[in-house]
Structure 1
Amino acid sequence: MKKTRKYNIRNLEELHATVASLKAEYTMQEDALLSDTKVYFRQFTLGGFIKKYATPSAFLKMDDKLNLSSSLMSYILPFIMNTTLFRGSGFLTKTLVGLASNKVGKTLDAEHLSAIFNSVKSWFTGSKKKKESTEVDYGIPPDSESY
């Protein structure tokens, strides 16, 4: 339904003032609609999806419900094992390795995978310890005369 407004306009100045106020109201409503539309469409962009769903906490919550990482690992781990480590093996060996790695893959979840990744990463990065200096400190300041 169209809302009708009744204006009590008596002269030309009141008419111009009413037109100016209606134009100002129109531009304010237009700006509000544009900003609301931009916010609405921004949530459906790739960046909006990444901000909402690709955080580590969201992945862990989603993984707890759907168990994505374990189902994915149950398919990927046998393939990786058979194509890398057991490449020249026979059919029976590859079948047994596939079944065993399938069972192991089902037990892995996101927390186990991140712990494994961190431990493998620590092997390659290593811990950098500071080397102790060979100078012996006798407590004598370097500026003293007895030094």
Structure 2
Amino acid sequence: MKKRYNIQNMEDLHAQILVLKSDYVVQGDQLKVNVKGYIKQFTIGSLIKKYATPSAFLKIDDKLNISSKLMSLVLPLLMNSTIFRGSGFMTKALIGLATSKMGKTLDAEHLSAIFNSVKSWFNKPKEPTKKGMQIDYGIPPDSETY
């Protein structure tokens, strides 16, 4: 689609050339800004910020079951190399089958629940203290020392 300009004399032509050059510079600057923003979307840091959040991992894991596939591969290797290190071939094969089946049933929610329960074993539960509640030292309130 051709754009027609109403140019009557040399002054109109020079004015139109200046307008077109300024439009060219503005569009070039805007294109640079847009390209920088587009490239910034796909840098490693921005991709990590976008996809490496726990909620994003759970969403991806619901679709692909990455954690269950990973656990079905890692769990037999871990069990056979630590707990059942000196056992025979048949024992290792049975443990491998059992733990790979168990690993397939684990997903990210189960793993986070297991992690939280193990973490709670090592953390001491804090007693909830209420404000305004007096601490009982074993001294009766009607004694002279109170």
Q: TM-score range by the shorter chain?
A: 0.7 to 0.9
Shift of 1:70: 0.6
CA distance in 1, matches of 2:121, 2:107: 22
User: Is structure 2 residue 27 aligned with structure 1 residue 29?
Assistant: yes
CA distance in 1, matches of 2:93, 2:10: 95
Q: After superposition, what is the alpha-carbon deviation per residue over 1:68-123, rounded to whole angstroms, capped at 9, x for unaligned?
A: 11111001000000111111112122111111111110100010001111111122
Aligned residue in 1 for 2:39: 41
Aligned residue in 2 for 1:141: none
Letter in 1 for 2:73: Y
Aligned residue in 2 for 1:68: 66
Shift of 1:133: 4.9
Q: Structure 2 regions of 5+ residues with no counterpart? A: none
Q: Which of residues 56, 63, 74 in structure 2 aligns to 1:58?
A: 56
Worse-superposed segment, 54-63 or 68-77: 54-63
**Number of paired residues?**
137
CA distance in 2, matches of 1:24, 1:126: 69
CA distance in 2, matches of 1:112, 1:130: 28
Shift of 1:24: 2.7
Letter in 2 for 1:6: Y
TM-score (norm 1): 0.76
Distance 1:41 1:89, change over 3 A: same
Shift of 1:8: 2.2
Shift of 1:130: 6.5
CA distance in 1, matches of 2:31, 2:112: 44
Aligned residue in 1 for 2:95: 97
Q: Map 1:64-143; keep pairs closer than 5 Å.
A: 64-129=62-127, 133=135, 135=137
CA distance in 2, matches of 1:121, 1:128: 14
Q: After superposition, what is the alpha-carbon deviation per residue over 1:12-63, rounded to whole angstroms, capped at 9, x for unaligned?
A: 5x56654443333222211210111112212221123213322222222221
Of all paired residues, the percent bearing the same amino acid is: 58
